Amino acid sequence: MMLSSFVRTCVVLMVAGVPPAFAADPPDAKAPPRPESTTVTVVQPSDVPVPRVLPPCAPGKCLFAGQKVTVIATKSAISIALLEVEEEFEAATGAELDIVRMPGIEHFPTIISDMTNRIGKYDASIAGGWWIGDMVAGGHLLSYDQWYDDPRFPKWSVDDVLPGPRNLLSYGGKKYMVAYDHDGQVMYFRRDLLADARHQAAFRQKYGYALAVPQTWAQFRDAAEYFTGQDLNGDGVPDHGIVLALKPGSQGMFNYMSLSASFVIGPTNARLYWFDPQTMKPLIESPGHVRALEVFVDLVKFGPREMLTWDHGRGWDHFLAGRAAFALTWGDLGALAQQTGSKVKGKTGAAQIPGTHEYYDLVQGKWVKTDAINRVGNTTGASWAGVISKYSKAPEATYFLLSLLAAKEKSQVYAARGSDGIDPGRRFHFLPPEGTGTTEPYLRAGWDAADIRDYLGAFQRTFSDKQQFPYLRIPGAYSYWLALDLHLVEAASGQLSPAAALKAAVVDFEEITIRLGRERQREAYRTSLGF
């Protein structure tokens, strides 16, 4: 069983993935420089200052005087906050901070090579959640358990992180990732379109029920179809029901994961989605997966054909320009919708991703009907967070830096800005009664009040749902994901049927498992899921 040459090449070249943050933009000599963080062109970056929380240390009393901390990060939005904290960290500790930023395609291979060879050039990485399987399995990370309650370090609380993203911070019972970014996908919709009396009447006449925020994928499909071909932003050009970013290698598979969860995960099957934990046999060609991909492929018809070649920045631009009624994506889009240039500020609703009334239970091998809508929360995405190399020459100073970035006062600002790629996930990001935060940080960042409440409610429900999509954290996770991604594109473009595309992905999954070692993968998979 061999990967196709195209898939094999992509897996090798793109093992680190492309983050949901963005590639560099060339500076404009006549305008203020845009962050190298974004490929979105419809809106301008927000400029919201982040408070300093630590005073400079007194001469002779600097905790880490003479030490040096070197951090590797992706040259994208996600490392802007790291750049902002450099001066404060050095003044507070007496240590020197060296920030190495490189393209996402190079980040993972560089840090894993440094760790594998035990060089210790990098003390820390702002790492993607899917890297942890490789790093922990290789014995390359230091747990920060020993410093977490130490009063010498800036204080932050793991318990503040909502249940879904909190699970990604630990592995095998030890804490490895320091909270920073919290990724998950929600459904964005044009609130103004759903509330429009003309659309409500026309929709009811065509489909026989009221136009409202979709609760099921069947309702979502109808609404996406209805808005396709209509002028949604008043420019006289027909627009689209949905926008998805499906460029091969640009993480379109995350959209499928989020959509497919409720077709496979349910009350009697909480964890089985990827593999059989006893044999590592791939499970992704199950009837539930096939039906989910059929729905996914059907939805593609209601978006621009060009989105098969679009990355997320290009897809977000389409929504920000008012040219799509729905989008399924991360928190970035909700924040970007508030920035100067957005055509959808004050019109952008958000809700938890729709669900189903039936899922395929992989344990029982049958379809199970549900009375209530079967919804599944998710943490699909990178959930970028700091990790400490086992070979760090300054591990305590490194943890000090990462815990400073996790400080509440800073995180509140990060979560409200659209230009830093950092999404909300902690209780103080959300509103009472579920959260402990306020709208103030969002209003300071220029948010519309109605958009704030929809946005925060959607992510609070997504991250707190008792049912959570099982995040894959084993060696080679991105290789599996990329193989799936490339076959999903074959289905979306009509080259393969959904069943054939998933069958081809199973063949590739098996080859990857054999190459990495079935028993090693089985052990890592069981550990990652808590078996």
What one-character-per-residue DSSP string does 482-511 give? HHHHHHHHHHHTTSS-HHHHHHHHHHHHHH
Peptide bond between residue 51 and the one before it cis (omega within 30 degrees of 0): no
Strands 186-190 and 240-243: unpaired
In the 3-class helix/strand/coil scheme, how is 200-224 assigned residue by residue? HHHHHHHHCCCCCCCCEHHHHHHHH
Task: Read off the tokens for 435.
Answer: 């959260």
Q: Which of 275, 293, 295 is nearest to 283 (CA)?
A: 275
Q: What is the pLDDT of residue 16?
A: 35
Predicted pLDDT at 529: 85
How many residues make up the chain in this entry?
531
CA 386 – CA 86 distance, rounded (Å): 15
The answer to whether residues 425 and 459 touch, using CB atoms and an 8 Å cutoff, is: yes
Averaged in consecutive runs of 10 residues, what is the pLDDT profile of the chain (531 residues)? 42 37 30 44 88 96 97 95 98 98 94 97 97 95 98 98 97 96 98 98 98 98 98 97 92 94 97 97 98 98 96 95 98 96 98 98 96 97 97 98 98 93 97 96 96 98 97 96 96 97 98 97 92 79
Q: E strands within 43-190?
A: 68-74, 96-102, 124-127, 141-142, 170-171, 174-175, 186-190
pLDDT at 46: 79
Note whether 101 and 73 are within 8 A (CB).
yes
Q: pTM for the complete prediction?
A: 0.92
Sort strands 124-127 and 68-74 into parallel, antiparallel or unpaired: parallel
d(CA 490, CA 253) in angstroms, rounded, equals 12
Going along 157-281, which residue ranges are E strands?
170-171, 174-175, 186-190, 240-243
Which residues touch 399 (CB under 8 Å, ≥6 apart)? 144, 147, 153, 178, 388
From the number of C-beta atoms within 10 Å of its C-beta (0-12, 13-18, 19+), residue 159 rates as exposed
Contacts of 167 (CB under 8 A, 6+ apart): 379, 468, 471
Q: Is 326 left (phi over 0), alpha (psi -120 to 50) or beta?
A: beta
The helix/strand/coil state of 369 is: strand
Instruction: For residues 338 and 127, give the distance between their C-alpha atoms in angstroms, rounded to a whole number.
Output: 27
Backbone phi, then psi, for 106, in 5-degree steps? Answer: -105, -20
